[in-house]
Structure 1
């Protein structure tokens, strides 16, 4: 193996903006700031979610960001600041680096992810399980 996951995350973190939970909470609820949860849907159902956050599954994120993709979501072309998070900050670091490399401006992620958000008193709500 040429690079471990830890190495990839370390490299990503050296090139992206990482917010502390306190910095993220200061942005939460501001106009033109979109929180993006990249966790798996089962994690949201099991652990809850940040109220108002957009769910963009990690496996679809680049496709949703790319305006040339048939899966593009206009949300990612609205000029907002995007705050990504996952469970612990590893997937969101890689995702932030990836979309930054694609040209998405004004993107960052939360150090420690949803776990740190919840532990530090960030708002969390229950997500109802999917039907079917």
Structure 2
């Protein structure tokens, strides 16, 4: 394996630097922007693990896909894709608990060609704090 590290360069980077690099590749959305995007047809994708969903609830209409299955479920060419994964042009808003893992997930989706993928700043916690709908 070569010495090239994810995000470019030939030296290891810390997670904070990696997140900063990754996030320069797309425009992130705030909670109200994410809700508006969903109302305009974007797919909200909740990648939180089951314990967090059970504890805090769900965003109505969001597709639940655990992080370890995300690429397989959203690849429009994949044999295990979700019914919602209709094209590489699909607007996807990835939501984790606090907005960190979702940024890394978006980078992976971009590599699959889902060029309109983005994430929610502050994750589910920011959505809930903004008073937006939560069920369960």
SS at match of 2:39: coil
SS at match of 1:19: coil
TM-score by length of 1: 0.84
SS at match of 1:15: coil
Unaligned runs of 5+ in 2: 1-10
Q: Report the CA distance between 1:26 and its aligned residue.
A: 2.1
Equivalenced residue count is 125
2: CA distance between counterparts of 1:114 and 1:12? 20
Which residue among 70, 77, 81 is the counterpart of 1:61? 70
SS at match of 1:23: helix
Q: Is the 8 A contact 1:16 1:93 kept in 2?
A: no
Unaligned runs of 5+ in 1: 127-132
CA-to-aligned-CA distance 1:52-101 (integer Å, 9 cap, x gap): 10001110111222345442223222553111110111111011111012
Q: Which has the higher strand share?
A: 1
1: CA distance between counterparts of 2:68 and 2:127? 22
2: CA distance between counterparts of 1:55 and 1:62? 13
Which residue among 65, 79, 82 is the counterpart of 2:92? 82
Q: Which structure is higher in RCO with an 8 Å CA cutoff and minimum separation 6? A: 1
Q: Is the 8 A contact 1:17 1:107 kept in 2?
A: no
